[in-house]
Amino acid sequence: MASLAAPPRRGQVRSQQHRPGRGTVDDQMTGEETVSSDPVGGRPSFRAVAGDQLPRLLSLARRMIGDEGEDAVQDCLLKAFQRFDQLEDPQAAPAWLTSILVNCVRDRVRARGRGLQEIEVEDVEDFSLYRTIAQEDPFPYSDSLHLDFLAEFGAEDLHEVLARLPEHYRIPLVVVYMDGYKARELADMLGAPLGTVLARLHRGRKLFERELWNYARDRGLLRGEPVRR
């Protein structure tokens, strides 16, 4: 994680007037709204900070919310620009932008009017991917069943499995296991109790394992299994 020590001087926003409408990602980092560098403290501009993090933010957003990922990043950049003077240490920009993005994604999910798809613990608690693979024995005569099973999945397969999960389970999995943040950091980002985040991580892992098995079965990744239509 980025260091939060010894913040340099804050930069200045050239104009407090914002054009109506969101515009594009590039619109938010160009023209009159560009944040200048601090010639004394060497503070980078908003354009530099956002541009450096943009590829990571887009990848993260797409994993969290699919096709709406780019729009979520647009929301994130606009809010980040408006609050740029609050970023005291530019080295903390990755975590700061991630926090804003996670909440923008959550806002978009809520705006759809979709209720939380809470999964009862008992619905997934009894499922064990390890035990299922051992019992079903999808790779006969193998001494490394679990490694053989995981080797059948490519990156696109894993992303598709992840996309099957409800967002409020998917988001914690992406932020913690794919982007490397700690559960406590995610709890701070969301303003949620740590216990809630840990519970969703636990259920999310169980759901992911179950969907991984279902996906393998449906796509014929288990040797000798026909593809289900």
Q: Confirm whether 86 is domain-assigned.
A: yes
Q: Tokens 């530019």 belong to which residue?
A: 90
Q: Which one of 111, 139, 162 terminates a domain?
A: 111
Q: Confirm whether 175 is domain-assigned.
A: yes
Name the residue among 121, 77, 118 with its Cα closest to residue 96.
Answer: 77
- Structural domain containing residue 75: 27-111
Q: Confirm whether 1 is domain-assigned.
A: no
The model's pLDDT over 117-148, given as tens digits with 9 standing for 90+, comes to 555 545 677 788 888 888 887 777 677 888 88
Q: Confirm whether 211 is domain-assigned.
A: yes
Same domain, 191 and 141: yes
Token pair for residue 96?
């700061």
Cα distances (angstroms) measured from residue 2 to each of 88, 92, 93 = 12, 5, 8
| Number of structural domains found in the chain | 2
The model's pLDDT over 26-56, given as tens digits with 9 standing for 90+, comes to 444 444 344 444 544 567 899 999 999 999 9
Same domain, 125 and 214: yes
Same domain, 107 and 43: yes
Q: Confirm whether 22 is domain-assigned.
A: no
Q: Which one of 86, 111, 136 terminates a domain?
A: 111
Q: Confirm whether 173 is domain-assigned.
A: yes
- Dihedral sign for Cα atoms in the order 29, 32, 33, 35: positive
Name the residue among 172, 174, 224, 181 with its Cα closest to residue 203.
Answer: 172
Same domain, 103 and 163: no
Using 50, 70 and 90 to split pLDDT, how confident is the model at 57?
Answer: very high
Q: CATH number of the domain that 72 lies in?
A: 1.10.1740
Q: Confirm whether 85 is domain-assigned.
A: yes
Examine the pLDDT at 68 and tell me if it is beyond 80.
yes
Same domain, 103 and 127: no
Q: Confirm whether 116 is domain-assigned.
A: no
Examine the pLDDT at 94 and tell me if it is beyond 60.
yes
Cα(195)–Cα(156) distance, integer angstroms: 31
